[in-house]
Chains A and B, each alone.
Chain A
Amino acid sequence: MENKTLKKIDLIFADYTSSKYKVLEKVLEKTPDEIINEIIDSGLKGRGGAGFPTGLKWKFTKNEDNPVKYVICNADEGEPGTFKDREILERVFRKVLSGMATCGYAIGAKEGYIYLRGEYLYLVPELEKEIEYFDEFAKKLNLDFRIFLRMGSGAYICGEESALFESMEGKRGEPRNKPPYPTVSGYNQCPTVINNVETFATVQIICKIGSEEFKKLGTSDSRGSKLFSVSGDTPTPGIYELELGMPLTDFVDNYGDGDTKAVQVGGASGFCVPRKHLKDTIIGFEGIPTGGSMMIFNSSRSMYNVLHDYLEFFNEESCGQCTPCRVGCQQLLKGIESVKKGERKPQYLDELKKLASTMKIAAKCGLGQSVANPFNSIVDNFREEIIY
């Protein structure tokens, strides 16, 4: 294992030349294959949470034989504890547009869409201005690629890629069966690249500094740096860009309040790491991957309340389409409530853990499949707090 320590990086928000799309201009001198190979070579994995290799996603989509293809930027940012995409959109939006245009050129798409969560409506006027400027610039460069803005309406599940396509098609945001994957059949059933806001911004950075330079950061499994959204019991809540691959202890030493009991890595759908495991937990794809949400809890917090909050969240945000998730989320919530009240024996928690594990296999999409992450990790590590 590579031994990394916490290192602050300044790439995403740095060097924002507000006047021109210089990097994009240079990129367009390359061939689509050269660009895709550069992204593959960089080892960049998606920054939205799931971590699929970005270059491969682009390559698969490019190889599809369909005259119509789409580029979609997932700006639905709904994972509790995540707020870095909003900051990127507010501060360095041109990097995102540049990344999207790079993708459009590389895969042969003429249209790109940004799906912005309804909660960020106040960003729209500024974003629209920037998109207009981009349009003019693309025309000057003879780049046949236009970008449009679409809004969500307050549904966490619409961050799931296939639910997002459904929503853009005017339907209920209910995830589709997979396969087919978006690279084959996405928006309007056409081949689609969908990436997170930060992924597109990072593409612009790789195009600027080159994949060799980018690869110097992070580990072989987790290349580069990424943004972390830090909240909870910390004296310094905020957004920090850090090199991937650090041990969680380093993180807590820097951002904890000295009394950290646990860290929830990856939001409500992520994992709870108790103090005793901070040392042997790596933040990255070889350990616990995260879309960036880091919620810190100190010893004054009841982990029962934390789990209860997460389960309420899933109950409300489950699209209700498949039974394991719709009913499972309800039963998990009711279950811990009844154990807490003493209506059920503590052993009932083991039944509930089995239910959560069944949901991991039987649920249709990532929402239902990941409820077991917080559930089992909190119940395993803080059983007493759930019972008493």
Chain B
Amino acid sequence: MSNIETLVKNLVEKHGKTRNSLMPVLQGVVKEERYLSEDAMIIVAKELDLSAAEVYGTASFYTFLDTVPRGKNIVRICKTISCHMKGKDEIIEALENAMKIKVGETTHDNKFTLLTANCLGWCHKGPVMLVNDVVFPELTPEKALEVIQDYVKNSK
């Protein structure tokens, strides 16, 4: 059995073999793999007795259920109004320069994918970003770079 097959089987066992488990199962795969490959979606479909099209239909709706490969760490910078007013553009610029990629791209070493997101629920402490599921509020360009450096150094 492939790794993904084992992973999906375990998730289905945990959440139950019903359509209602589709989101938790897909979320579980993304947590480990960072994205949903075609193979992964076909296996999920098989395990939950759904068509692959149904699984893809659901997956492709959700921003956090990526169906294209992503780097090991996903950085999402809030671009909504309150963070915009507090300088999210400078944060994005600093990270783009440091990582040598544009928003939407993944670094060559596959370490980081840089994305923007809509309001992350920290508007009083903007600008803010998520790295995977960790939140970093009250950013300055320097602080944002430090966070990224930390991920590089500690091979996270």
A residues adjacent to B (C-beta < 8 A)? 77-83, 85-86, 117-122, 150-156, 167-174, 188, 229-233, 237-239, 268, 295, 297, 301, 305-306, 309-310, 313, 316-317, 319
Contact = CB atoms under 8 A, between A and B. Distances in A.
A122 B129 CA distance: 13
A238 B122 CA distance: 9
B20 A233 contact: no
Contacts of A301: 85
B134 interface: yes
Contacts of B18: 170
A153 B63 contact: yes
Contacts of B123: 80-83, 229, 231-232, 237, 295
A369 to B, nearest CB: 19
Contact of A172 (B58, B117, B133): B58
Given A155-B63, A316-B118, A295 B23 contact: no
Contacts, number: 118
A230 B61 CA distance: 31
A122 B57 contact: no
B82 A231 contact: yes
Interface of B: 18-24, 26-27, 57-58, 61-65, 80-82, 84-85, 117-126, 130, 133-135
B24 A151 contact: yes
27 contacts: A77-B121, A79-B119, A80-B81, A81-B81, A83-B121, A86-B121, A118-B27, A119-B120, A119-B130, A150-B23, A151-B24, A153-B63, A153-B65, A154-B65, A169-B19, A170-B21, A170-B22, A170-B58, A171-B19, A171-B58, A172-B58, A174-B61, A232-B81, A237-B125, A305-B84, A306-B81, A317-B118
A154 B121 contact: no
Contact of A173 (B61, B117, B125, B135): B61
Contacts of B117: 119, 154
A111 B85 CA distance: 42
A154 B58 contact: no
A153 B81 contact: no
B130 A169 contact: no
A319 B63 CA distance: 12
B82 A232 contact: yes
B80 A80 contact: yes
A173 B62 contact: yes
B65 to A, nearest CB: 5
A231 B61 contact: no
A230 B122 CA distance: 10
Contacts of B126: 231
B95 to A, nearest CB: 19
B64 A81 contact: no
A232 B133 CA distance: 25
Contacts of A85: 121
A309 B124 contact: no
Residue among B21, B62, B126, B134 with the highest chain A CB neighbour number at 10 A:
B62
Contact of B64 (A153, A238, A297): A153
